[in-house]
Structure 1
Amino acid sequence: MVENEHRNYFTCIGRGHGAPCLPASREYWEIMRREPWLADMCSRIEKGDDELKHRLPVWTPSCAEFKNNHRAAADALKPLNRLMIDFDEKGHTTEIFEKLKDAAQPDIRGMWVLLVEESARRGTHVLVELPAGMDADTAQQIMKEVTGFEPDKQVKGIDRCIYMVPEDHTRFVSERLFEASPTSLGKQGGSDAFASGGENKYPQEFSGIPYSEIIAEYWRRTGGEPPIGKRNTRLHQLAVNLRAICDDNEEWLLQVMPRFELKEQEMRSIIHSACKEPTKGSKLMDKIVREIPLLPPEEGAGEAEDISPSADDKGMPPMPHRLPPIVKLLTSKTPDIYKPAVAHAIFPSLGAHLWKVRFKYIDNVMHEATFMNVLMAGTGAGKDCISQPINHIMADIRKRDAENLKREAEWKKEVNSKGSNKDKRQRPEGLVIQEVDPDMTNPAFVMRMAEADEHFLYTKMNEIDQFDALRGSAHGSQQFQIMCLAFDPDNRYGQTRVGTQSVTEKVCIRFNWNAATTIQKGQRYFRNVLTDGPISRINFCTIPEREIGADMPVYGTYDSEFDEELRPYIDRLCRAAGVVDCPQAFRLAKKLKDECAEFARLSQSRVYENLSFRANVIAYLKACVLYICNDYRWSKEIEEFVRWSLQYDLHCKMTFFGEAIDSVNRGAEEKQRRGPRNLLSLLPDEFTTHDAELIRQANGMDTRGTRNMLSQWVHRGYILQMTDDSFKKLNIKH
């Protein structure tokens, strides 16, 4: 939301408990409370999903504006003489409301009841406006006498926030709630703790992003907010970086920077010192401004406790703390920095254990568990981190392969020992050899595939260019055709040769594989097939760059106990058969498809939309594999992991290939921006068609699609059309 002096703000809303709190109007507040996802979250919380509570949006009943959107008593610009009273006993909201109605004449000893609602856990919230001179303790005592219930004794400050609940939790709401007029703005007993601090002289946003969000993301990427004892140093570092987007203006920095209870003179000294350093820009700030629009709301501005230590410094979605059991086991011996890569890389080998197992996707097409994974990371990043988990997953397949390889070798020896005119025994039946050499030729690949009896083939390549052995000829590109066909159900591939000793077969490719490469080499490898299909069918992952001089990551021990824990999961995969139906995975795939479509509409990124289609299929197949591994039981850990996996995969694809694909699509050599931007967030609260055209042009788009874009936004309820040429935003989450 952008500040607008004509709006009647009565509260502040934040995306989470630790997120910036922006001034909000009645319209925004009501729209948020009608969101279907909010009702779903509260329903899950009521059933015991306590961890989800911290992801609920919050609002501040006792303050309508905070300086720099920083929710703290010292930064309260518009405190309200209101008090939210909690009743923790569940199930008494209606009874409490009836007693309040009976006592109101029309007020209750000078207090006006503004809101009565059930909390997320079915307690009761009562918001009252206090008369002059009444303190919070007195108000709570009166409420106890009137209702007969004991309020929460802990009286919260002016900066207190409460979790938002759906509209149907409301028993009563007064029009007076939305009238945050000057007469209702209290001084809280004359304390200067809530003094205004002056008007905002400089912009509070950069490129449509509030400075408060930029600063929050800066803290997240640099180890969190500074503790006492390090505040001066860390604030100096923040100022050095932040000045790059504040025109090196000390007054501007003073306005937008958090103070952490430091006096103004101390802040001026810190900022002045930072601005005296040589001007060199800030790559970190550039990244933050570029990447914040790509972050989902709860991850771009969530609490520190929701952020995994595996989140890297490039805005990658952080890995969930709570993981599905098999993922937790397979990453248990892995250093934190490698866990996201390993969590993605395990699926090709897991999927290779499924035989004749299918899953119906949301488009009614049957898929098998096809997974192709490429780990792209810098030289010396530790790309071999995926090897040990894969080795232990593949142990049973390798044992069976060894027996069949021995049979094949004995047959070859027998055949070669006989003369050309003597009878030779036919090739043995049942030579199912699933793990193949990465440098096999195309005929060898077709032969192994034909003999696999509908099992998956699997290989692990240390370098992606080992795939070139399958290219067919010096200038062929059959390896890319194989990548595409492997993902497509019921594909056909093979070769026809005249010679009696040659391989002549038509097969359905079932081929799972892992490969690793440096980022630059990977980008070169796929540069000629950017829009031909392989990239969208492959699951990508990466490893963040470690700081220079950082300690060496240390692995755990993969012992017999580890193998014993892994065995039940592998056995479940091997026993699976037929069509596996997982309703929860199916519903999740639909939901994720809609979320990707929504972001594509807002970002107007055709590249993101196209990549999201197959990325969602990959995520769905992961959900189904995890469902089988978990003994056909669904869990919130599976859902959260699959959602993260999709977001992570798309982020990698957009980071590594987004610009190049966009350039190919548009016939341009290079684009200035990286990844899609939320165009709606770049526009003011009220804007014209011309404003929208300028935003599209600034982001490398033509103006011809403006009307269609605006029509979509109106239809989706993101904006309201005021006149033929003017519009107003409706939904604060964008």
Structure 2
Amino acid sequence: ASTSSTASTAAASTTSAAQDNYLGIPYGEIIKKWWQMYNDGQEPMRSNRNTLTFELAVNLRHICGFDRNLLAQIIPCYDGFPEQEKMACINSALNEKITQMPKRLKDVLSAIRQERMKQGNAGGGSAADNEALVNALDEANAKDDLFYYNALPKLPQGIRDSISAVGPALALPVITAICPAIGMLATGVKVSVHGKMNSLNLISYIAGDFASGKGSIDPVIDAWTSEVKEMDKMYQQKEDEWRAKKRAAKNKKEQPEEPKLPVRCLTLNNTVANLAERLANTEGKHAFSFTPEADTVAQKWKSAMSDFSVMLRQAYDGTSYEREARSADAVNVHIDRLLWNVVMCGTPDALYRVVSNYTDGFQSRIIVAKTPDNTFTPLSDNMYV
């Protein structure tokens, strides 16, 4: 019997040795630091041991793999706490909703991290071990930051691939950028908004400082619009052929008729007349414009920014657009429903040059997504950079 008891004790001690730390930090050290930071360095006593043991277990479960036995092993029975009551506190803690690592526990680990960094700088202990522990804590924090992101429902294939291409940090900007492109592709789809059927008319602006990752959105937009652009190339080739014929027949009485072709991907480096003519020839389908540099708009449309704003507001509302001129050669257009989705990328200050009037209603029709601040982010070789 004593031999069996000795064997089980040895097995338990082996298990304990294998599970007595988190990333190299003994659980005892973490618990000691916890009481130091949140209970004036005092361990729980009879009057508060239930509440404090529960709070400790709710936090420690995140670094114990939500393992009931491990929590029971590392949390002491404070001030004569009966084992049964302690287990009741642990069970209650494990039944709480699973969340991201609590801030208080992060602060405890951060305090230990700072101590280990100081030890490493002072030459105390093993410098390599301290550095490895600091790196492990940083990696664990980075993974924990993605807790809610990873818990999101599975996204549709194209959206999921777009986010994978730029990385989770740029998830919101890339979704904001591709939604107008999707609206252009789903040009016949309508949704009910406040009881009124509306087309997918969307205008977005991706704001970010230089070197903030905006450029990684460009190939994603290209992928979404590639099929439409291939059709546009064919139409533009026909237009080039018409121009060549027109030049050849310059002095002839019979002139080739100008084709009205439905080019749908339109450059913003354009004039009001050319853009209006293009928008009139889309055969009732959405047109789409994208510029990686919003200053293109600010410079090209500088003297006609109000016209640009009016066209975009009418495109968002899906209302009619009219342009009249007396000359037979001038552009005359009559569009029943203006369908034109626009995406612009640029710096935050360029946004002020594009949206230059704050009272004309353009602000309420454009969605702005900001790239995250990566000022102090170290350079890395990861796939998202």
- Normalised by the size of structure 1, how large is the TM-score? 0.35
Please report how far the alpha carbon of residue 455 of structure 1 lies from its aligned counterpart in structure 2 after TM superposition. 1.4
Distance in structure 2 (CA, Å) of the matches to 1:420 and 1:217: 83
Q: Are the equivalent residues in 1 in contact too, given 2:288–2:340 (CA < 8 A)?
A: yes
Q: Are the equivalent residues in 2 in contact too, given 1:468–1:479 (CA < 8 A)?
A: no
Residues 497-508 of structure 1: pairs in structure 2 closer than 5 A: 497-507=325-335, 508=337
* Alignment correspondent of 2:274: 444
CA 399–524 in structure 1, closer or farther in 2 if over 3 Å, else same? closer
* Alignment correspondent of 2:103: 216
CA 230–374 in structure 1, closer or farther in 2 if over 3 Å, else same? same
Residues 22-421 of structure 1: pairs in structure 2 closer than 5 A: 74=43, 78-79=48-49, 135=82, 137=84, 155-157=88-90, 160=93, 162-163=95-96, 216=103, 226=109, 229-230=112-113, 232=115, 307-308=145-146, 321-324=152-155, 325-361=157-193, 363-419=194-250
State the one-letter code of the partner of 1:487: Y
Distance in structure 1 (CA, Å) of the matches to 2:269 and 2:249: 29
Please report how far the alpha carbon of residue 405 of structure 1 lies from its aligned counterpart in structure 2 after TM superposition. 0.8
- Give per-residue Cα distances to partners, 1:9-47, cap 9 Å, x unaligned: xxxxxxxxxxxxxxxxxxxxxxxxxxxxxxxxxxxxxxx
Give the structure, 1 or 2, with the largest relative contact order (CA under 8 Å, sep 6 or more). Answer: 2
CA 428–521 in structure 1, closer or farther in 2 if over 3 Å, else same? closer
3-state SS of the aligned residue for 1:439?
Answer: coil
Residues 542-691 of structure 1: pairs in structure 2 closer than 5 A: 542-548=370-376, 550-552=378-380, 554-555=382-383
Which of 286, 305, 318 matches 1:456? Answer: 286
Which of 466, 469, 475 matches 2:296? Answer: 466
- Give per-residue Cα distances to partners, 1:558-603, cap 9 Å, x unaligned: xxxxxxxxxxxxxxxxxxxxxxxxxxxxxxxxxxxxxxxxxxxxxx
Please report how far the alpha carbon of residue 418 of structure 1 lies from its aligned counterpart in structure 2 after TM superposition. 1.8
* Alignment correspondent of 1:538: 366
3-state SS of the aligned residue for 2:93?
Answer: coil
CA 453–74 in structure 1, closer or farther in 2 if over 3 Å, else same? farther
Structure 2: unaligned runs, 5 residues or longer: 1-34, 55-79, 119-140
* Alignment correspondent of 2:73: none
CA RMSD of aligned residues (A): 4.1
CA 525–444 in structure 1, closer or farther in 2 if over 3 Å, else same? closer
* Alignment correspondent of 2:342: 513
Q: Are the equivalent residues in 1 in contact too, given 2:323–2:332 (CA < 8 A)?
A: yes
Distance in structure 2 (CA, Å) of the matches to 1:75 and 1:537: 57
- Give per-residue Cα distances to partners, 1:473-501, cap 9 Å, x unaligned: 82651111122111113x12231011111
3-state SS of the aligned residue for 1:326?
Answer: helix
Length, aligned pairs only: 296
Q: Are the equivalent residues in 1 in contact too, given 2:49–2:81 (CA < 8 A)?
A: no
- Give per-residue Cα distances to partners, 1:619-650, cap 9 Å, x unaligned: xxxxxxxxxxxxxxxxxxxxxxxxxxxxxxxx
Structure 1: unaligned runs, 5 residues or longer: 1-65, 85-132, 141-153, 165-214, 236-302, 310-316, 558-734
- Give per-residue Cα distances to partners, 1:367-399, cap 9 Å, x unaligned: 111222211111222211101111111111111
Please report how far the alpha carbon of residue 422 of structure 1 lies from its aligned counterpart in structure 2 after TM superposition. 1.2
Q: Are the equivalent residues in 2 in contact too, given 1:335–1:553 (CA < 8 A)?
A: no
Q: Percent identity?
A: 14
Task: Report which of the two structures shows the higher radius of gyration computed on alpha carbons.
Answer: 2
CA 358–158 in structure 1, closer or farther in 2 if over 3 Å, else same? closer
Distance in structure 2 (CA, Å) of the matches to 1:448 and 1:434: 8
- Give per-residue Cα distances to partners, 1:407-439, cap 9 Å, x unaligned: 11212222232245612233335x110111221
Distance in structure 1 (CA, Å) of the matches to 2:340 and 2:104: 40
Q: Are the equivalent residues in 1 in contact too, given 2:298–2:353 (CA < 8 A)?
A: no
3-state SS of the aligned residue for 2:165?
Answer: coil
